[in-house]
Amino acid sequence: PKLGLSAKNYGRAVYECLRGGLDFTKDDENVNSQPFMRWRDRFLFVAEAIFKSQAETGEIKGHYLNATAGTSEEMLKRAACARELGAPIVMHDYLTGGFTANTSLAHYCRDNGLLLHIHRAMHAVLDRQKNHGIHFRVLAKALRLSGGDHIHAGTVVGKLEGEREVTLGFVDLLRDDYIEKDRSRGIYFTQDWVSLPGVLPVASGGIHVWHMPALTEIFGDDSVLQFGGGTLGHPWGNAPGAVANRVALEACVQARNEGRDLAR
């Protein structure tokens, strides 16, 4: 959910989406600790939503609780609160928070059994400028060095569109151990990550059920697909929106496994 809800109504929206069939929901990068919804209140209501939906569905659920804050000490305090509440995952805006703060948070998460979702808010300020910017391929590799479990990596389809081959190039750089040089995909030298942990690519931004065949073909199994407006924007409500995404994904995976090509 985006900005504007109280903590209680925010928790209700999270519950409806998780109950409907989503595995995870997430804080928007702008959702932090505003006067209408302080972070601790949101954490409490979201934790209640997670456990209620788990009890009703029998599935493991979670919510990316945004731990980004003005200081690294405050970020670690919020991550510790999430862990004490039993939340499985926190989130960090790694470019606004900074790489050293991100590495501190990544180490804390690894030591305490938390997953760390990485949001790339502010990346366009750096990577859209072709003359003297920093390409997202470089920012993605820097994130893998800094630490994190999954990161937004563009969608090829949807509103955060990118060139297909280039996007697949940095998707491979994130999750594979050894990537061969391939200039057509923007990989200008062979990259050997040795034993450095990989990062799952996240497809997020303007995607919905009609994009599902393309998404399953492009990203495969080792990826995370996030549907914000594609869930909350359903005319029948949040839970039916989640059901629609779940059914579409399972149908596309089944069709792919049976050898049918829905993306064509």
pLDDT of amino acid 147: 96
Pairing mode, strands 150-152 and 178-179: unpaired
Lowest mean pLDDT among 114-123, 130-139, 174-183: 130-139
C-alpha torsion 238→244→247→251, nearest 10: -150
Kindly tell me if the per-residue pLDDT of 27 is higher than 80: yes
The overall pTM is greater than 0.85: yes
Q: What is the pLDDT of residues 71-98, one digit of tens each?
A: 999 999 999 999 999 999 999 999 999 9
153 has a pLDDT exceeding 60: yes
**22-26, 155-159, 224-228: range with highest mean pLDDT:** 22-26
Sheet with 89-93: strands ordered across: 24-26, 62-66, 89-93, 115-119, 150-152, 200-204, 224-226
Using CB atoms within 10 Å of the CB of residue 33, give its burial: 0 to 12 exposed, 13 to 18 middle, 19+ buried: middle
**Bridge partner list, 151:** 118, 201
Domains and CATH numbers, the chain: 7-257 (3.20.20.110)
